[in-house]
Amino acid sequence: MADLFDLPFEEDDSDARSNPPEPPAARRQVFSVTHLTIRIRDLLEEQIGQVWVEGELSNCRVWNTGHLYFTLKDEQSQLRGFMFKSALRYLRFKPVDGTCVVARGRLSVYEPKGEYQLVCEHLEPQGLGALQLAFDQLKKQLQAEGLFDESRKRPLPALPRKIGIVTSLEGAAIRDIIKVLRRRYANAHLVICPARVQGADAAPEIARGLRQIGRVPGVDVVIVGRGGGSIEDLWAFNEEMVARAICRVPVPVISAVGHETDVTIADFVADVRAPTPSAAAELVVSRKDEFCGRIDRLHDRLRSAARGRIQTLSRRVHVAGSRPAFAAFPARLAMRGRHAADLTHVLARALRNGLAARARRLQVLERQLATFDAGRRLGGLRARLVAAETRLNATINRQHDRAAARMRTVLGRLESLSPLAVLGRGYAVAWNADRTRILRDATSVAEGDRVRVTLASGELDCEVRSTTE
Amino acid sequence: MADTSIKDFEAAIAELESIVKKLEEGDLALEQSLELYERGVQLSRFCHARLEQAERRIEILNERGELKPAPASLTSEDPGR
């Protein structure tokens, strides 16, 4: 039993026995639970007040009221914590279990449960900076949603009609962009939606700007960005609302934030990332340069292809003219002089008409181009195009003339095969008296009939003395 | 006129490309070659027009979604630093 007496319980018991008798009930100070709890609360709130405390987050839970409940713990102890929705909004990272944090807050007591807790005003992650953590978290989330996927990236328009820009009117970025565009694409049409790009209002303003600019008719590419600064200065471009606004712009978006080395969430979701605002302007314009080169090359090819076609066709006419069928023509012409003459004439007319029609069409095209060019003067770019077109037309025309000349040569040969030419070689054509019919058959005339004979030079009026079959 | 048959700058370029290809590959009649050439000229005219179409203009979009001309200070070569 002696052991039992050594136990604290027994000791308390013996203490109680050795203590002086309790004061009478009337002199006792009896607290209600609430009263005592309030005293404890006052004591904690006054004595400890605002504190900084470090530990690991666990049991993090945002209730549907929007407030955050969590437990802060280390190896031996735990502390309940609570954070109002209003304070939670300012956190730049998402509090999740396992994060080591430093919390600032006030100790308070939750009377209904008799529990004390830390009413947290601010949380920041230990080690990794809050911004870095926030960046990593958002990046991971958006990536998981597929917002960085290559398949989402839209190509920039070949030649932007209107270039939308969301940035501050006060910053260096807008001046850089305008300067570059003026230099490389003088007649660029810009629509600028001013937005603060720094501070607490920046993210909502940029997001609004992106929404608005996407609705402007004709805007077919958007640059969003700002000049260089600290990570805090650039922070708006790491905000979720800006990232989502970029994704929702109906036309391609170029992000242009800070310097080459600054990478923001906006860069990941944008269709194209430009290292700087000037580079963004160059990206838009270089597309145009690319196109001019392409048009030039197309003109070259169009010209030489058309030239090739015409050469081939001319050659064919040439070859046709020297075929055996044509070579044997003279003999047959002797028999069918008139027919050949007719044929020659028809062929020649058809060829001439065809050529003339085409020549007229080329002339019309040239005139159209001429009136088109007569207007405003253009920069070097357009001048290049005009030069290419003029060259193209001149070449086509020259080739056409050459083709026409070759056809004339062929026609000349056909002419040389005409009855008159044949007559020059000693043949003669015999006609009936009124010269309406060529005589091909001796039986078609009778003794005493008159016939006419055409020679190379002059005609004979003859009388048939006899016929032989 | 025939320009309504051209959708946009990119389409014009694409068609010009296909015309060149056809001329280069196809064994076409002179008539057809000239037709294609004519269309090619038309397309390049369209491209010219588009290059000129963008106006040298800077506008500011305000919060009510209205477009206003930009202040001259923004476009001056020297911002007055």
pLDDT, block means (10 residues), chain B with 81 residues: 64 81 73 77 75 75 86 64 39
* Whether pLDDT at A342 is above 50: yes
| A39 vs A311, residue with greater confidence | A39
Strand partners, A100: A56
Q: Pick from A206, A141, A149, A131: which is nearest to A173 by CA? A: A206
Q: Are the Cβ atoms of A368 and B45 closer than 8 angstroms?
A: yes
Interface of A with B in 388-407 (CB under 8 A): 389, 392-393, 396
Distance CA A444, CA A436 (A): 13
Nearest residue of A to residue B42 by CA position? A365
**Mean pLDDT computed over every residue of chain A:** 77
DSSP state of A141: H
Confidence check: pLDDT of A379 > 90: no
Q: Which of A63-72, A91-100, A173-182, A328-337 has the lowest mean pLDDT?
A: A328-337
Q: Is residue A10 scored above 50 in pLDDT?
A: no
The span from the CA of A271 to the CA of A251, in Å, is 9
Tell me which chain A residues have a C-beta less than 8 angstroms from the C-beta of B16: 295, 298, 302
Of A189, A193, A310, the CB nearest to B57: A189
Q: State whether residue A86 is helix, strand or coil.
A: helix
Q: Which residues of A touch B62 (CB under 8 A)?
A: 194
pLDDT at residue number A126: 80
Determine whether the interchain pair B33/A191 forms a contact, defined as Cβ–Cβ distance below 8 Å: no
Six-digit token string for A372: 């088109």
What span, in angstroms and rounded, lies between the C-alpha atoms of A167 and B70?
14
Residues 257-276 of A with CB under 8 A from B: none
**What is the model's pLDDT at position B6?**
72
Write the CB contacts of A57 (distance below 8 Å, at least 6 apart in sequence): A70, A71, A72, A95, A96, A97, A98, A99, A100, A101
Q: A312 with A399: CB under 8 angstroms?
A: no
Of residues A375 and A120, more confidence is placed in A120
- Distance of residue B18 Cα from the nearest chain A Cα, in angstroms: 10
Q: Which residues of A touch B63 (CB under 8 A)?
A: 208, 212
Q: What's the rounded mean pLDDT across residues A174-201?
A: 87
Cα A171 from Cα A445, distance rounded (Å): 109
* ipTM above threshold 0.85: no
A160 touches chain B (CB under 8 A): yes
A309 and B30 in contact by Cβ < 8 A? yes
CB environment B3-23: b (16+ within 10 A), e (fewer): eeebeebeebbebbbebbeeb
Cα A441 → chain centroid: 82
| CA A79 from centre of chain | 54
Scanning A76-129, the segments in alpha helix (DSSP H) are 85-88
- pLDDT (0 to 100) of residue A132: 79
Q: Any CB–CB contact under 8 A between B2 and chain A?
A: no
Tell me the backbone φ, ψ of residue A78, rounded to 5 degrees: -135, 150
Give the distance from residue A213's alpha carbon to the nearest chain B alpha carbon, in angstroms: 8
What is the phi/psi pair of residue A153, to 5°? Answer: -70, 125
Q: Do A302 and B79 touch (CB under 8 A)?
A: no
Helices (H), A322-374: 324-327, 329-335, 337-374
Task: Determine, for residues A302 and B16 on separate chains, whether the beta-carbon distance falls below 8 Å.
Answer: yes
Partner residue facing B23 (CB), from A190, A306, A376: A306
The alpha carbon torsion through A296, A300, A306, A311 (nearest 10 deg) reads: 170
Q: Is B80 on the interface with A (CB under 8 A)?
A: no
Work out how many CB contacts closer than 8 A connect A with B: 136
> In the predicted model, is pLDDT for residue A459 greater than 50?
yes
Alpha helices, H only, A185-276: 202-213, 240-248, 265-269
Longest dimension (CA), chain A: 186
Question: Is pLDDT at A3 greater than 90 in this prediction?
Answer: no
CA distance A212 to chain B (A): 7
pLDDT at A462 over 80: yes
Cα–Cα distance measured from residue A266 to residue A458, given in angstroms and rounded to the nearest whole number: 97
Buried b (16+ CB within 10 A) or exposed e, A76-90: eeebbbbbeeebbee
pLDDT score of A194 more than 70:
yes
Q: Is B52 on the interface with A (CB under 8 A)?
A: yes
Q: Which has more confidence, B38 or A410?
A: B38
Contact list, B65 vs chain A (CB under 8 Å): 212, 215
Q: pLDDT tier at A286 (50, 70, 90 boundaries)?
A: low
Asked if pLDDT for residue A380 goes beyond 80, the answer is no
Structure tokens of A313?
């066709």
A361: number of Cβ within 10 Å:
14
Mean pLDDT to the nearest integer, A169-174: 90
Lowest-confidence region among A73-77, A171-175, A193-197, A341-345: A341-345
Among A77-86, A161-170, A250-259, B18-27, the range scoring the smallest mean pLDDT is B18-27
Query: Cα A81 from chain centroid?
Result: 50
Asked if A79 contacts A71 with a C-beta cutoff of 8 angstroms, the reply is: yes
| Non-local CB neighbours of A114 within 8 Å, separated by 6+ positions | A33, A37
Torsion angles phi and psi, residue A83, rounded to 5: -140, 130
Partners of residue A295 in chain B, C-beta under 8 Å: 13, 16, 44, 47
Nearest CA in chain B to A193: B61
Instruction: Give the whole-angstrom CA distance, residue A79 versus residue A97.
Output: 14
Asked if B74 lies within 8 A of A175 by C-beta distance, the reply is yes
Distance from CA of B80 to the nearest CA of A (A): 12
Nearest CA in chain B to A304: B24
- Whether the CB of B12 is below 8 Å from some CB of chain A: the reply is no
Q: What's the pLDDT band for A11 if we cut at 50, 70, 90?
A: very low
Q: Which residue has the higher pLDDT, A71 or A389?
A: A71
**What pLDDT, on a 0 to 100 scale, did the predictor assign at position A370?**
47
The distance in angstroms from the start CA to the end CA of chain B is 51
Helices (DSSP H) in A145-194: which residue ranges?
A: 172-184
Tell me the Cα Rg of chain B: 21
Better-scored residue on pLDDT, A229 or B38 = A229
> Cα separation of A52 and A104, whole Å?
5
pLDDT band at A23 (very low <50, low <70, confident <90, very high): low
Q: Is B1 on the interface with A (CB under 8 A)?
A: no
**Least Cα separation, residue A390 to chain B (angstroms):** 10
Q: Which residue in B33, B37, B44 is closest to A385 by CB distance? A: B44
Chain B contact present for A85, CB below 8 A: no
Going A344 to A349 to A352 to A355, the CA torsion angle's sign is negative
Which SS3 state, helix, strand or coil, does residue A408 take?
helix
* pLDDT surpasses 80 at A284: yes
Closest-CA distance, A146 to chain B, in angstroms, reads 29
Which has more pLDDT, A428 or A267?
A267
Distance from CA of B12 to the nearest CA of A (A): 10
